[in-house]
Amino acid sequence: MNPLQLLNAIQQAKTSPSEGLMYVDAEVNQRRVLAMVDSGATHSFVADHMVGKLGLDLVENSSRMKAVNSEAKRIQGMATDVNLKVGSWEGKINLMAVPLDDFDVILGNDFLHLGSIALMPFLKGLFVMNKSHPCFVPATNTIAGKEKTKLSHLSAIQVKDGLRKGEPTFLAALVETKARTTSKIPDVVVEMLEDFGDVMPAELPKQLPPKREIDHEIELIPGSKPPAQAPYRMAPKELEELRKQLQELLDAGFIQPSKAPYGAPVLFQRKHDGSLRMCVDYRALNKLTVKNKYPIPLVADLFDRLSGARLLYKAGLEVGVLSSSDCSTGDIPKTAMVTRYGSFEYLVMPFGLTNALLHSRNLMNDVLERNSLIDLSLFILTT
């Protein structure tokens, strides 16, 4: 480019500050595209969804592309000797096909060296210094026909700085959903479910469990005074949920009104799905309870017992109430809980009591016998 052409380009160019990235109008295989010029890119790229639209033929290539703060990924292919026109400059360039969200074509350093191009962000354009086709190519702010489109691109440093300042930040992800495929249940399984439907219901029956050989007992240290506490304060939403869950337990026959001198307060713990789990704070009662010192099984011993097993079935206890056993009649008053709506006592063994899980473990050992591994609230059946 001679000095006169350079002077004319400077006079015609707008000298207002450049905003965002630099885009130029270009032609790839005689098809008009909007290309982003990136001096930080070692090569030039084309979006994989544009390969067919631009009539490009890809050849296999083992090159990998690495963006900022991401792992290197293998490109989908290389389009070689592609006709490219920018301004009055024409030439051939190689384009790597990669997934690009917001760009159709990226012109990198290979393009800048090939055309002897100098970027001039202050003049909102680029100079083609090639002796055969010198020209000034103005940048455009139009992206895909939309004026003044703001790109939603942030660097890792910008994101970290925004989080530190407490700026509202949202993370969204598109997850592909696949249609559920239903397979036919084998006839032998259907027959087994029908024969044993009384012991394999979809939901536990809302009634007391069958009478077992042993009941859960709460043995207190001699001379202990019955612990009784005041109810915990609750928000209106929690009080409404408490009323609902108490009514469900009453309808199922798991609890009954109590006049016992005992009283443990109730609180709520939020689950992962946002719902509330009712918990009885038995810590005061547990301090006075004689502890069962039966040890938890060693993991190494459990793995030894799994050796040679062909089929494994894992199951867990129903959350909320260990309804595998009743409470001993004399110990029912000790399970009393105090609430805004009165005192209630459990007729079944609840969670939260000292020795409750060990009692349930011993009961399952007696029922399932040798073909089972019991570890507190989890058991595995083996064959």
End-to-end CA distance of the chain: give it in Å, rounded.
Answer: 85
Q: pLDDT tens digits for 279-322?
A: 999 999 999 999 887 767 777 777 777 777 776 666 665 544 44
Q: What is the mean pLDDT of residues 312-339?
A: 67
Residue 239 binned pLDDT confidence (cut-offs 50, 70, 90): very high
> How many residues are there in the chain?
383
Which residues are within 8 A (CB) of 189 and not within 5 positions of it... i.e. 6 or more apart? Answer: none
φ, ψ of residue 382 to 5 degrees: the values are: -130, 150
pLDDT at 144: 45
Residue 241 binned pLDDT confidence (cut-offs 50, 70, 90): very high
Residue 176 binned pLDDT confidence (cut-offs 50, 70, 90): low
Residues linked to residue 316 through DSSP beta bridges, in sequence order: 378
**Contact (Cβ atoms closer than 8 angstroms) between residue 61 and residue 76:** no
Asked if the model's pLDDT at residue 38 lies above 90, the reply is no
In angstroms, the CA 216 to CA 360 distance is: 8
pLDDT at 314: 65
**Contact (Cβ atoms closer than 8 angstroms) between residue 338 and residue 229:** yes
**pTM of whole model > 0.85?**
no
Of 293 and 176, more confident: 293
As its CATH architecture, domain 204-382 has Roll (3.10)
**Contact (Cβ atoms closer than 8 angstroms) between residue 257 and residue 346:** no
Asked if the model's pLDDT at residue 177 lies above 70, the reply is no
Asked if the model's pLDDT at residue 181 lies above 70, the reply is no
CA nearest neighbour of 46 among 113, 95, 117, 85: 95
Q: What is the mean pLDDT of residues 56-82?
A: 82
pLDDT at 287: 94
Of 290 and 197, more confident: 290
Q: What is the mean pLDDT of residues 23-45?
A: 88
pLDDT at 228: 94
Which residues are within 8 A (CB) of 162 and not within 5 positions of it... i.e. 6 or more apart? Answer: 154, 169
Q: pLDDT tens digits for 122-173?
A: 778 888 887 777 788 888 865 444 444 555 677 788 888 888 888 877 777 7
| Least reliable range by pLDDT among 103-107, 162-166, 219-223 | 162-166
pLDDT at 243: 96
Q: pLDDT tens digits for 2-28?
A: 555 665 655 555 545 555 688 888 899
Which residues are within 8 A (CB) of 176 and not within 5 positions of it... i.e. 6 or more apart? Answer: none
pLDDT, mean over the chain? 79
**Contact (Cβ atoms closer than 8 angstroms) between residue 285 and residue 350:** no
Pick the CATH number of 3-144 from 2.40.70.10, 3.30.70.2740, 1.10.8.60, 3.30.70.20: 2.40.70.10
Tell me if 3-144 shares its fold with 204-382: no
Of 180 and 256, more confident: 256
* Other C-beta atoms lying within 10 Å of the C-beta of residue 199: 6
Per the structure block, which two tokens stand in for 302?
Answer: 């459990």
pLDDT at 143: 47
In angstroms, the CA 43 to CA 95 distance is: 8
Asked if the model's pLDDT at residue 255 lies above 60, the reply is yes
φ, ψ of residue 193 to 5 degrees: the values are: -65, -35
In angstroms, the CA 91 to CA 179 distance is: 48
- Residue 334 DSSP class: G
**Contact (Cβ atoms closer than 8 angstroms) between residue 8 and residue 18:** no
Sketch the domain layout of the chain as residue ranges.
3-144, 204-382
pLDDT over 70 for what percent of the chain?
77
Do strands 105-107 and 89-98 pair parallel, antiparallel, or not at all (unpaired)? Answer: unpaired
Residue with the two structure tokens 């979809």: 202
Asked if the model's pLDDT at residue 379 lies above 70, the reply is no
Of 15 and 351, more confident: 351
Asked if the model's pLDDT at residue 202 lies above 80, the reply is no
pLDDT at 324: 44
Of 183 and 35, more confident: 35
pLDDT at 145: 44
pLDDT at 138: 84
In angstroms, the CA 121 to CA 30 distance is: 27
- Residue 203 DSSP class: S
